[in-house]
């Protein structure tokens, strides 16, 4: 007991001595003190910023209801499927409570004659239902062909000053007029992090996509499924591969000509190809940031 008290006392004495020495050094060399604090500040700031990016891109679950039941359906490095394939998977799957489709794109947006380019998603009518996203204002569209749009909370704030009269307003995108029927919640920015979607519109309202709706050779839709309560991602993957084999047999296509389908939980960037590339880039950035912090510490020491 006495030995522990002596050790604690020595620790406090050493700490006080070090603090006094540091204060004397700072008074003697204020320029060095400023440089040291600047180096450490930059190092810590860069690391904090980088962690925020890595967290949002690779780690943080999507801001949707029961995100642990949401899966991204992909095939190796391919993250897209044709619209007919989407319809078939949706109709035949028993492991999934729902399957939604989305196509990300950059789109022009015209509000009262003022145009800008924004991130957009062309989606199936059940997109919000499958993802488990409710509108902050109004509602999500429920028809594929109605020219209705849901806008992001950020766009609502930026272009409409959070006015509740935004519902019913007309906007134009890709030469098509849309009626705003809802505003997404502020925490939901779409399924393609770190990009932030500003407008969601139904699939069949884009004239350029109409010809692709029946083309099995055109793979352009990313698929998101919601697992049933008693189903795992592995079970969903197995079922989707069985359905895929059935479809190939029905169409007379050679079997096993492509990678197996995988349903995996969505976290950060959903697309397998994009996620792989982003992880490589993020790893390199993390290494650079660690090097910056190490250099800062060495300079201070």
| DSSP string for 3-71 | HHHHHHHHHHHHHHHHHHHHHHHHHH-HHHHHHHHHHHHHHHHHHHHHHHHHIIIIISPPSSTTGGGEE
* The two structure tokens encoding residue 293: 């912090």
Q: What percent of the chain has pLDDT over 90?
A: 52
Q: Averaging pLDDT over each range in 30-34, 80-84, 263-267, 284-288, which range is the top one?
A: 80-84
Confidence band of 272 (pLDDT split at 50, 70, 90): very low
Rounded to 10 degrees, what is the CA torsion of 58, 60, 61, 62?
-90
Note whether 132 and 64 are within 8 A (CB): yes
- 121 vs 124, 172, 200, CA distance in Å? 10, 15, 5
pLDDT of residue 273: 45
Is the pLDDT at 219 greater than 80? The verdict is yes
Domain boundaries, the chain: 2-60+277-300, 67-267
pLDDT of residue 122: 97
pLDDT category at 145 given cuts 50, 70, 90 is: confident
Residue 204 has pLDDT above 50, yes or no: yes
| C-alpha separations of 78 from 218, 223, 233 in Å | 13, 11, 18
Task: Name the DSSP class of 259.
Answer: P
pTM of the model: 0.75
Q: What is the dihedral of CA 136, 138, 139, 144, to 10 degrees?
A: -130
Where does the pLDDT of residue 251 fall: very low under 50, low under 70, confident under 90, or very high at 90 and above?
Answer: confident
Q: Which residue has the tokens 């999507």?
A: 62
Residues 210 and 220: beta-carbon distance below 8 Å: no
Of the pLDDT bands very low, low, confident and very high (cuts 50, 70, 90), residue 254 is: low
């Amino acid at each position: 007991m006495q030995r522990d008290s002596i050790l604690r006392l020595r620790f406090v004495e050493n700490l006080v001595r070090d603090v006094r020495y540091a204060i004397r050094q700072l008074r003697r060399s204020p320029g060095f003190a400023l440089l040291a604090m600047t180096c450490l500040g930059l190092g810590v700031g860069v690391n904090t910023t980088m962690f925020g990016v890595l967290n949002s891109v690779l780690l943080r679950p999507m801001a949707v209801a029961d995100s642990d039941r949401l899966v991204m359906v992909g095939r190796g490095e391919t993250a897209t499927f044709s619209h007919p394939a989407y319809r078939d998977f949706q109709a035949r799957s028993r492991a999934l409570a729902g399957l939604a489709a989305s196509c990300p794109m950059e789109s022009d947006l015209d509000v009262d004659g003022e145009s800008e380019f924004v991130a957009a998603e062309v989606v199936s009518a059940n997109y919000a239902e499958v993802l488990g996203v409710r509108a902050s204002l109004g509602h999500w569209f429920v028809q594929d062909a109605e020219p209705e749009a849901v806008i992001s909370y950020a766009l609502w704030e930026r272009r409409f000053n959070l006015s509740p009269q935004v519902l019913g307003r007309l906007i134009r995108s890709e030469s098509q007029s849309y009626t705003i029927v809802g505003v997404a919640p502020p925490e939901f920015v779409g399924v393609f992090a770190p990009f932030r979607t500003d407008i969601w519109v139904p699939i069949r309202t884009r004239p350029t996509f109409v010809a692709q709706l029946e083309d099995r050779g055109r793979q352009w839709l990313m698929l998101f499924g919601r697992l049933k309560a008693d189903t795992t991602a592995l079970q969903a993957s197995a079922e989707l591969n069985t359905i895929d084999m059935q479809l190939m047999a029905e169409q007379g296509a050679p079997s096993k000509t492509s990678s197996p389908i995988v349903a995996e939980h969505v976290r950060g960037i959903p697309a397998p190809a994009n996620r792989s590339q982003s992880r490589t880039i993020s790893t390199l950035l993390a290494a650079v940031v660690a090097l910056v912090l190490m250099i800062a510490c060495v300079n201070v020491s």
